[in-house]
Amino acid sequence: MMFNVAQTVAEVLIVIIYISVILTIVTSKSETFKNAFFIMFVATGFADVASVLASMIVRYRSELDLDKEHRHIVVLAVFLLGYTFIAHVIGNLLVAINRFSALCLVQKYDKIWSRKNVWIAIVFQYLISFLACIQVILSDSVCVRNADGICTGLEGLSKRTDQIGRSLYAGFPIIYAVVSLSVNVRLVFKWYRKSWNGSGPKPNEKNNKTLH
């Protein structure tokens, strides 16, 4: 397997840029970067960075000769990929709900997205992700290679563990898609209703026209 220099450089640049953005937000003294949206953005950003690094490890598995003796490295990388993927999906879901409440629940926004509730949401985000993928680490699995020596999966996962993993990988994106779609549709209708009401004649204008 040839070492893909271009992809490696791209991945390293992505990690550097992402970390730079996160550090800029974290170290900024601006109050704008301390609201619920940016706190959740940073929390999800850590998962995204870890995901890129884990994918790099998995991609290097052939060069590193990660066979049965090094199964823990492969299993850890696969666990991180699943863990960060679910954390990313949940994070995006929280951000979508946050944006919806910022526009449609203005009066309740500060109460819903208090600092305490934001941190509870982040703990929930990572705890659910961890519990969803912990079976990968607990399983006695090894890397399965194809004819080219590429690790195509893990062998040794129980049928139940495999079914749970597949269900989670399919379930979380579906939940995210459904919730995001419903939230965005409501936002569009609310925006349209406000725009239509704003473009129509004011009550006073109607009365004045009637009098004249």
Q: Where are the domains of the chain?
A: 5-198
- Find how far residue 207's CA is from the centre of its chain: 52
CATH number for region 5-198: 1.20.1070.10
Number of neighbouring beta carbons within 10 Å of residue 171? 14
Look at residue 171 in the predicted model and tell me its pLDDT.
79
Note the pLDDT tens digit of each residue in 78-134: 788 888 888 999 998 898 889 888 888 888 888 999 999 999 999 999 998 888 877
Pair 29, 36: CB distance under 8 Å = no
Note the pLDDT tens digit of each residue in 51-88: 888 777 766 665 455 555 556 776 777 788 888 888 99
- State which H helix or E strand residue 144 sits in: strand 142-145
Pair 94, 180: CB distance under 8 Å = no
d(CA 167, CA 208): 63
Distance in angstroms between the alpha carbons of the first and the last residue of the chain: 84
- State which H helix or E strand residue 151 sits in: strand 151-155
Closest CA to 46 of 83, 100, 95: 83
Tell me the pTM. Answer: 0.71
Please compute the mean of the pLDDT values over residues 34-38 and round it to a whole number.
Answer: 90
